[in-house]
Chain A
Amino acid sequence: MRKNFKIILCNLKSIVSIKKLLIICIIFVFTFSMKISYLDNTVNLSVLLKSVFYGPNNLLNNIIVLFTWSLYEFYLIYIIGDYFYKELTRRGMYTISRIGNKTRWHICMQLSLFLVCLTYYLIGIIVGLILVYYLNIQIVICDIYHTLNIFFILGLSSYFSITLYILITILIKDHNVSFLILVVVSYLSIEFGNTFKVDMFIALNQGILSKHYESNFSFLWSYIYLLILIIFNIVIINRVIIRNDLLTIID
Chain B
Amino acid sequence: MENKTIIEITNLSKEINGTKILKNINLNIISGKTYGIIGRNGSGKSMLFKAICGLINPSDGKVKVFDDIIKNGNFPKYTGVIIEHPGFLPQYSAFKNLKILASINNIVDDNAIKNIISLVGLDPNDTKSVKKFSLGMIQRLGIAQALMERPKLLILDEPMNGLDEEGVKLIRKILLKLKNESVTLLLASHNSIDIDELCDYVYKMENGALSELKI
The interface of chain A, by Cβ under 8 A from chain B, is 3, 6-7, 9-10, 13-14, 17, 19, 86, 89-91, 93-103, 241-247
Partner of B75 from the list A86, A96, A243 (CB cut-off 8 Å) is A96
The answer on a CB contact under 8 Å between B83 and A98 is no
Whether the pair B88, A91 counts as a contact (CB closer than 8 A) is yes
Interface string of B47-63 (1 = CB under 8 A from A): 00010011111000000
Contact partner of A101 among B56, B75, B101, CB < 8 A?
Answer: B75
Measured between beta carbons, the chain A residues less than 8 angstroms from B90 are 86
Say how far A13's CB is from chain B's closest CB, in angstroms. Answer: 6
* Assembly CA distance A60 to B101 (angstroms): 47
Q: How far is the CB of B52 from chain A (nearest CB, A)?
A: 12
Contact across chains for A14 and B53 when beta carbons are under 8 A apart? no
What are 23 sample pairs from A and B whose C-beta atoms fall under 8 A apart?
A: A3-B104, A10-B104, A19-B91, A90-B86, A90-B88, A91-B88, A93-B81, A94-B81, A95-B104, A96-B73, A97-B80, A97-B81, A98-B101, A98-B149, A99-B75, A99-B104, A100-B77, A102-B72, A102-B74, A103-B72, A242-B72, A245-B55, A247-B84
Indicate if the CB atoms of B89 and A98 lie closer than 8 Å.
no
Q: Residue on B with the closest CB to A243?
A: B57
The A contact surface, by secondary structure, is helix
Q: Is B91 a contact of A93 with CB atoms below 8 Å?
A: no
Query: Quick check: B105 and A98 within 8 Å, CB to CB?
Result: yes
Interface presence of B173 (CB below 8 A): no
- B85 near A90 with CB under 8 A, answer yes
Q: Is the CB of B50 within 8 A of A245?
A: yes
A10's contact among B72, B81, B100, by CB below 8 Å, is which? B100
> What residues on B are CB-neighbors of A244 within 8 Å?
56
* Known contacts A101-B73, A244-B56; A6/B103 CB under 8 A: yes
